Structure 1
């Protein structure tokens, strides 16, 4: 079931989303050569704590997971697509890092992700990240009343495929509200004009994931969480929580 949020509820989600944006900004600022992923998780935890917010990631355990998620951010490096668990790995010059973060505040959730490079960037990595961001922007632009979920999926997928990138099969965005994952699902590829019609009050987490090697396949690490590219190529992830309103899409997770 899809819950249509009131203007007041969307404003409350904006407060949670602002915390997410601040946390991602703080993590990105702290990311440097020699900094561990666990230290980046600590940075995000402090932002959440200072805001009086909780984490929808910490302790989250979907059906596929062998253990609850142990952190407040997903930290995915280089060939890790999504769901990377922050550990003692220390960032190296040229790493491509994707950070996914959520927050809960006053009963409402926000969810967003950003990809960036550390140290000297590879031009190919910058192009991959820029394409993921363009795909996200296109998906957001399609999130207007009267369109359908397939219009968002088509906007994202068209940009990713035109650049020659892979789109991990079966993963995409989702509805969000009082829970981090709600209906409907939001694929990153599909035919336009299909799926649920978009209505004011719907709130979606739109999140393109692109793979440089062009394949849609992935592998799951032994930790049961981290998804990796099958060919070792790099991946990028971009995400915002977006409210559909009569005035157009409203991004809720800007800092």
Structure 2
């Protein structure tokens, strides 16, 4: 079932999105060389609890994982790209780190991911990966006006990723979100324009382009969760939760100083 939020629920979704954005930006500032992934998970728990929110991950146990996940944030380093389970690892300068976070506040969830280079100075490959996912995310958001179709969003994302020279894996992609973290509709990172569900005001979507430098194949760690590139190449992942409104796509998980609304054309 596809969930359409009421105006009151959309107000709560904005609050959840702002919290997710704040936590991710706080963690980004703290993630320096020597920071342990377990500390990132602990800090995340502290901020979620302090806000009176609930983790969407701790008890998450889908069919594809070895659940429950049992942690508060996904931490994926270098060749890890999705569902990175925090473990005893100290970050090093130049690591490409992805933080993926979903929380629920007031009964409405929001989900976002950021990729960045620890220490701020990355290899050209790392910078290109991150840039491609961020540009693809922006293109997907721009395509998500009221009356557009899901295929338009997927096509916009896939066009950017493909033009950047990356292969696209369609096993995992974006999704509907609302009272639950993962729900219909599914949003692949490539698709045909003009196809699929027509977007309506009140619909919440989590768009999440991700790529791997030289492959579209994934392998799973022994932890049953962490997904890595099959070749050991670097990866990147960017995600925002957006709300479809009468005026276009409103980004709910953008840091407050960067909040934007994409108007439908």
TM-score between both structures, scaled by the size of structure 2:
0.93
1:185 aligns with 2:180: no
**3-state DSSP class of the match of 1:156?**
helix
Contact persistence 1:110–1:176 (CA under 8 A): yes
1: distance between equivalents of 2:249 and 2:29?
28
Unaligned runs of 5+ in 2: 256-265
Shift of 1:142: 0.8
Secondary structure of 1:10 counterpart: helix
Provide the residue aligned with 1:73 in structure 2.
73
Is 1:210 the counterpart of 2:208 in the alignment?
no
Measured in 2, the distance between the counterparts of 1:82 and 1:207 equals 11
Of 42-51 and 225-234, the range deviating more from structure 2: 42-51
Corresponding residue for residue 252 of structure 1? 252
Paired residue for 2:139?
Answer: 138
Q: Distance in 2 between matches of 1:129 and 1:67?
A: 29
Q: How far apart, CA to CA, are the structure 1 residues paired with 2:224 and 2:155?
A: 30
Give the conservation status (yes or no) of the 8 Å contact 1:13–1:110: yes
Distance 2:17 2:163 in 1: 31
Q: TM-score, normalised by structure 1?
A: 0.97
Equivalent pairs, count: 254
Kindly report which structure 2 residues correspond to 1:25-104, keeping only aligned pairs within 5 A, or say none: 25-104=25-104
Give how far 1:67 is off.
Answer: 2.4
CA offsets 1:40-65 (integer angstroms, 9 cap, x no match): 11121122122111100112000122
Q: CA RMSD in A?
A: 1.0
- Which range is displaced more, 180-189 or 38-47? 38-47
Is 1:106 the counterpart of 2:111? The answer is no
- Are 2:170 and 2:188, in contact at CA under 8 Å, matched by a contact in 1? no
Matched with 1:219 is: 219
Match of 2:169 in 1: 168
Which range moves more in the overlay, 63-72 or 233-242? 63-72
The answer (yes or no) to whether the contact 2:240–2:253 under 8 Å persists in 1 is yes
What secondary structure does 1:41 align onto? helix
| Matching residue of 1:6 | 6
Task: Give yes or no for contact 1:26–1:43 (8 Å, CA) kept in 2.
Answer: no
1:66 deviates by 2.0
User: What residue number does 2:233 align with?
Assistant: 233
Distance 1:137 1:169 in 2: 19
Q: Residues 144-170 of structure 1: CA distance to partner in whole angstroms, max 9, x if unpaired?
A: 111111111000011001111122231
Q: Is the contact made by 1:169 and 1:217 (CA closer than 8 Å) also made in structure 2? A: no
Range with bigger deviation, 233-242 or 123-132? 123-132
SS in 1 for 2:198: coil
SS of the equivalent of 1:19 reads helix
In 1, Cα distance between equivalents of 2:85 and 2:11: 31
Partner of 2:195: 194
Alpha carbons 2:170, 2:190 under 8 Å: kept:
no
Deviations 1:153-193 (A, max 9, x none): 00001100111112223110000000001110011011111
Q: Are 2:220 and 2:228, in contact at CA under 8 Å, matched by a contact in 1? A: yes
Secondary structure of 2:54's aligned partner? coil
Q: 2:207, 2:239 within 8 Å by CA — same for their partners in 1?
A: yes
- Offset of residue 20 of structure 1: 0.5
